[in-house]
Amino acid sequence: MASQANASEKFKYRTAPSATDAFEGWLKDHGKELPVHTHPRDVSRSDIYVEDRWQPIFAEMRATEPVNKVTGTPYGDFWNVTTVKAIQHVEALPELYSSSWDKGGITIGEPPKDVTPEELQERRLPMFIAMDRPEHTGQRRTVAPAFTPAEIDYLATEVRMRTATVLDSLPYGEEFDWVEKVSIELTTGMLAILFGFPWEDRHLLTFWSDWAGDVELGLARELQDVRWEIFGEMAQYFQSLWMDRMGKPPSRDLISIMVHSAAMNQMSPQEFMGNLILLIVGGNDTTRNTMSGIVHALHTFPDQRAVFESDPSVIPNAVQECIRFQTPLAHMRRTATADADLFGHQIKAGDKLVLWYISANRDEEVFTDPDKIDLRRPNARRNLAFGYGIHRCVGARLAELQLKILMEEMHARRMRVNITGKVERVRANFVHGFRHMDVTLEKF
Ligand code: HEM
């Protein structure tokens, strides 16, 4: 990798505490101040995800009232949208159901009440995931060429080399944390290569991505401020990379491509930064948590592990199935721009709709026996983990490539991963994944 200007030489940024440590520290002192979740269908509560007991709550909603309203939660009132059909319906109407920051944005979280509109404007970096048409169309079109099949093919060799190096460095017969040694290492390494991010600072991508994805931090006012300070540092760091590439001839890394593309040049510096951050943070903990999810799923379903081990031709479909089963982003949010009827429910302008992908991917109307993995499931591709419609994940092909190569390289090494110790999940209603997973390797 070409050496990069190290931004740390130019300004100071923090690298600790992690978002999780900060929130857990806050909980120790202020836990009693947290608002209580009382509504039985209030699936914004994060304990059900960290304890992995969300499944029956969503199953009840899908069976009895797939679209339903909950009121008086710590995140205010919102509509739960829980099935494939209902989510696709909402996402197919982006004018009626907005993603824009101005209307409420893309997560269940709300900004703190005591922040002025000016402060809010300043703190919210414009990024196309939180824009409606026509702005969304132009900005997405600008980055989409970086994810064409030809570009992805070009990356495949590098992804494979990197994956092989990480897998070959793992110890056999000795317990280690798969999340830290494989999932985090591979995702940050790939993003660093893709964007030409300074290699020695790549751990920052994990640090920032965790602070960005932790919606629950919004419940702790002081931590919201810390989060915004950290975002400021992140923006400053990316700005230094941007300046670095501006002063150099075009190269193949994505920041250089973006800096030197005519279309990107039309964006304001804020928009440029916002979209860069979206790409880097959006591709981080999603892919990471699927890499952990694959190992967890294969361990939990030994019959399917036998399928994987005996027939590597299932791998492309297995990737889809593991993405369905894990669903690394539990939800996205939309806000109604006008009154509407949604399958008989009266939605009012301004209402918040939470699209629970985690539930739709267990929709028994679409997926037979949805709480089990079936690596040969014929319609695994119908999963909604990447969303649907105009905002469907722009990085899906890259994520699929990384996951496919990981499974192929594990298979080539006849690597079986057994969970032999502590498993800790993420305490969040947005990012759905694993913090820690102790494993031991053997050969099959
Ligand atoms: C397994 C991995 C991933 C999952 C599950 C995932 C999931 C999602 C979801 C749910 C959305 C919103 C879709 C919607 O609102 O309908 C999204 C959008 C997006 N994702 Fe991903 N993502 C993954 C990997 C990546 C990667 C690797 C990148 C880039 C390097 C990326 C970049 C983006 C961007 C830029 C958007 C915004 C698209 C738009 O608004 O038009 N994602 N992703």
CA–CA separation, 184 vs 198, rounded Å?
A: 16
The pLDDT value recorded for residue 11 is 64
At 197, the amino acid letter reads: F
* For ligand 1, atom 25: residue with the closest CA: 283
pTM for the complete prediction?
Answer: 0.94
User: Which one-letter DSSP state was computed for residue 311?
Assistant: -
Q: Average of pLDDT values for 44-49?
A: 94
328 lines ligand 1 (CB under 6 A): yes
Quick one: three-class SS letters along 211-231? HHHCHHHHHCHHHHHHHHHHH
- Which of 235-244, 275-284, 423-432 is predicted most confidently? 423-432
**What would the two tokens of residue 55 be?**
């499944």
Given a contact cutoff of 8 angstroms between Cβ atoms, the answer to whether 319 and 21 are in contact is: no
The pLDDT value recorded for residue 9 is 54
Unique residue bearing structure tokens 């992804």: 159
CA–CA separation, 356 vs 80, rounded Å?
A: 7
259 lines ligand 1 (CB under 6 A): no
392 lines ligand 1 (CB under 6 A): yes
283 lines ligand 1 (CB under 6 A): yes
* For ligand 1, atom 36: residue with the closest CA: 393
Q: In angstroms, what is the span from residue 30 Cα to ligand 1's centroid?
A: 34
CA-wise closest residue to 236 among 273, 197, 188, 207:
273
Q: Which of 29-38, 237-246, 341-350 has the lowest mean pLDDT?
A: 29-38
187 pLDDT band (50/70/90 cuts)?
A: very high
Q: Is 431 helix (H, G, I), strand (E, B) or coil?
A: strand
**Helix residue spans in 247-337 (DSSP H):** 254-260, 262-265, 269-282, 285-300, 302-310, 315-326
Q: In angstroms, what is the span from residue 387 Cα to ligand 1's centroid?
A: 8
**What would the two tokens of residue 182 be?**
């494989």
User: Which one-letter DSSP state was computed for residue 166?
Assistant: H
Among 106, 194, 275, 386, name the best residue to mutate to test ligand 1's pocket (greatest count of ligand atoms within 8 A of Cβ). 386
CA–CA separation, 360 vs 367, rounded Å?
A: 9
| Model confidence pLDDT, tens digit, residues 245-298 | 989 998 878 888 778 877 666 778 788 778 888 888 888 889 999 999 999 999
388 lines ligand 1 (CB under 6 A): yes
**Helix residue spans in 94-220 (DSSP H):** 117-123, 135-143, 149-168, 178, 185-195, 203-213
Mean pLDDT of the chain: 91
CATH number for the domain running over 7-443 = 1.10.630.10
Among 151, 195, 393, 407, name the best residue to mutate to test ligand 1's pocket (greatest count of ligand atoms within 8 A of Cβ). 393
